[in-house]
Structure 1
Amino acid sequence: MVAPGTDQSGQGGRVSSRGQKLQVAEPEKDVWTVTPGSPSDSVYFGMDELFPHGKPDLVVSGINPGFNFGALVNHSGTVNAALTGVEFGVPALAMSLETQPDWPAGTRLAARPAAAYVVDLIERLKARARDDGRLMPRGIGLNINYPLVEGPMDPTTGDPRLATPKGTEPTTIQGGAFLVPDFTPDNGKPGSPGTYTTGYGAVDTSADAGSDIKAITDDYVSMSALQDDHDVDGGTEGWLRSLARGMR
C-alpha cells in the first residue's frame, strides 16, 4: 500500500516536479507514505521502487470518503491515481463511498461492505480474465461509486440502519460542470488583486438516464469505464478531419 502522507483531495493527476524532494516513510510493514506527494506520485513511487522488476496485476485506488462522479472525475486524486496505473498498462479501479453530513456513522458502517464489494469485484475480474491473464481490456480502468443507503430506523438508537444497494449499474460519466466556484475577496473589490477565499457549491441539475449520478441517486452502485487516452469517440472523427484540413 502506498498513499500520500497528507490529505490530497482534489489534486487530480498532479505529479511532483522534477527535482522536488519527497519524504518516504514506512509507518508499518508494507505500508508506505509519500509526503507531500499526490495520489499519482504514490502510484509512480510504487511502480518505480516497489515493483522494479515487473508490474503489479492491479492498481486499486480508494476507498475515498465521498463520491467521485460526473465532472468530479477530472479533479479527483482517487480517480487519477487509477488512471496513472492504466498509463503504465496496469488494470486499475477507483472506489469511492458516499458520505452524508447528517449521518456520519453511515459511512463508517458502509466501509466494510464497500471493501467487500471491491474484493468480490476483483474475484469476478479474475474469473473473467482474458487468455493473456489481463483483468481488464488494455487501456481501460473502472470508476466505482458505492451509495450509502438508509434502511429502517433502529428503534433502540433512533438512527437509520444500513441497507444494501439495489445492485450494480453500468454507467456513463455525466458531463457538464458539477461545481460552482465562489471566490470571495478578503480585501478590495471583486475582480481586483488581493486575497480571496475559495468556495464551491454543487450545480443543481437533473441526473441523465444511464449516468453515474442517476444510478447513485436510485441507490445502485455505479460502475463506469475509464480510458487513458482521452480521445473522443469515432463519431467526431469527420468533424476533426474537416477542422484540421488546410491548417498549417
Structure 2
Amino acid sequence: MAKAKKIPTILITNDDGITAPGIRNLVEAVKDLGRVVVVAPDKPQSGMGHAITIGQPLRLNKVVDMFEGVESWVTSGTPVDCVKLAVDKILHKKPDLCLSGINHGANHSINVIYSGTMSAAMEAAIESIPSIGFSLVDYNYEADFTGAKHYVHEIVSTFLKKKLDKHFLLNVNFPSVPLELIKGIKICRQAYAKYEEDFTQRKDPHGKKYYWLTGAFVNFDKGKDTDVWALDNNYVSIVPVQFDLTDYKLKSQLEKTFK
C-alpha cells in the first residue's frame, strides 16, 4: 500500500500587519501548496528589525474569516514574536517552511538589516525552519502583486519538492512591473547600497523641536550580479542569506596577527 503523501505546513507572517494586501496575496499564492497558518502583527512593524517583546505582555488572538479557509492569528508583538509564538503556542511544532511578506517596499541591499520582514524569516532559520522573505519594490497600498504572486508560487513549489538545509534562508525581491515585463529570476549577492540620511528639524504646534528622518537611497555597487541591479533590470532577485555574521577573511588575518 502506497504511503500517504505528507502535506507540508507553511507558516506565514509579515511586518506590515495582518490587514496588509501583501500578506493576503502571499496567502493566495501558496494556499494550494499545503496547510497554511498565518500569525501576523496587529499593526505595521516596518523597520523593526529583529526586535522581540520583553517586559510587557503579548496578546495572541485567533481571527475568524480573515483569509478564507486559512487558520489565522494576530498578535500585539513584533514579526519575530510572531514566529516564536506560532511555533510554541499554535503549531506546537516546527512548520516545514516559513514565509514572510509580501512586504510593501524593497528589502534589497542594506535593508535586510532593518527589515522586520526578513528578521521574521531569519528567526525561523535560526530555529531550524527553512524560510523565505518576499518583498515588492512598491510602497503603494494599491500595488499590483500579480507578478509577485506568480513567482512566489513558482519559488515555493520548487523548494517544497527539495530537502532543504534547516537554516535555509532566502531574501526575494520583486520588481514593480507587470508580470509580462519580468525577465525571470537572478541569483544575486547583496549590493553595497544604503540610505544617505538626514534629520529634518521641525517644530510641533507648541513650538518644540522634533526631527523627521529623511534621506535618499544611494547604490555604491556597480556590479551586475547584485540584487539592486537585478531589480533595476526587471528581474526577480534572490539572495541567499545567513545569520552567521562572522567575517571569515578577517578572522584568518587576525589569527595570523595574534598567533
Range of TM-score over shorter length: 0.7 to 0.9
Within-5 A mapping of 1:28-67 = 28=64, 30-35=71-76, 37-52=77-92, 54-67=93-106
Task: Provide the residue aligned with 1:20 in structure 2.
Answer: 56
C-alpha distance after superposition, 1:61-97 (max 9, x if no partner) = 0001111000011001101110000010000000001
Task: Provide the residue aligned with 1:139 in structure 2.
Answer: 167
- Alignment counterpart, residue 160 of structure 2, candidates 94, 115, 126: 126
Task: Provide the residue aligned with 1:181 in structure 2.
Answer: 197
Within-5 A mapping of 1:73-222 = 73-99=112-138, 107-108=143-144, 111-127=145-161, 129-130=162-163, 136-149=164-177, 163-176=180-193, 178-186=194-202, 195-203=210-218, 205=220, 207-222=222-237
In structure 2, C-alpha distance between the alignment counterparts of 1:123 and 1:202, rounded to whole Å = 33
Deviation at 1:206, TM superposition (A): 5.2
In structure 2, C-alpha distance between the alignment counterparts of 1:86 and 1:71, rounded to whole Å = 19
AA in 2 matched with 1:3: A
Specify the SS of the correspondent of 1:163: helix
Task: Provide the residue aligned with 1:239 in structure 2.
Answer: 253
Specify the SS of the correspondent of 2:151: helix
Moved over 6 A (4+): none
C-alpha distance after superposition, 1:167-188 (max 9, x if no partner) = 1000001124x1122112336x
Q: Please say if 1:9 is aligned against 2:43.
A: no
Q: 1:100 to 1:82 in 2, by over 3 A?
A: closer
With normalisation by structure 1, the TM-score equals: 0.78
C-alpha distance after superposition, 1:135-193 (max 9, x if no partner) = x223230010011225xxxxxxxxxxx534101000001124x1122112336xxxxx9
With normalisation by structure 2, the TM-score equals: 0.75
In structure 1, C-alpha distance between the alignment counterparts of 2:200 and 2:104, rounded to whole Å = 27
2:39·2:73 contact (CA, 8 Å) conserved in 1? Answer: yes
Q: RMSD of the TM alignment (CA)?
A: 2.2
Q: Which runs of 5+ in 2 are unaligned?
A: 1-37, 66-70
In structure 1, C-alpha distance between the alignment counterparts of 2:210 and 2:243, rounded to whole Å = 37
AA in 2 matched with 1:10: G
In structure 2, C-alpha distance between the alignment counterparts of 1:100 and 1:13, rounded to whole Å = 21
In structure 2, C-alpha distance between the alignment counterparts of 1:142 and 1:179, rounded to whole Å = 22
2:191·2:219 contact (CA, 8 Å) conserved in 1? Answer: no
Specify the SS of the correspondent of 1:8: coil
Aligned residues: 213
Deviation at 1:231, TM superposition (A): 2.1
2:134·2:171 contact (CA, 8 Å) conserved in 1? Answer: yes
2:192·2:220 contact (CA, 8 Å) conserved in 1? Answer: no
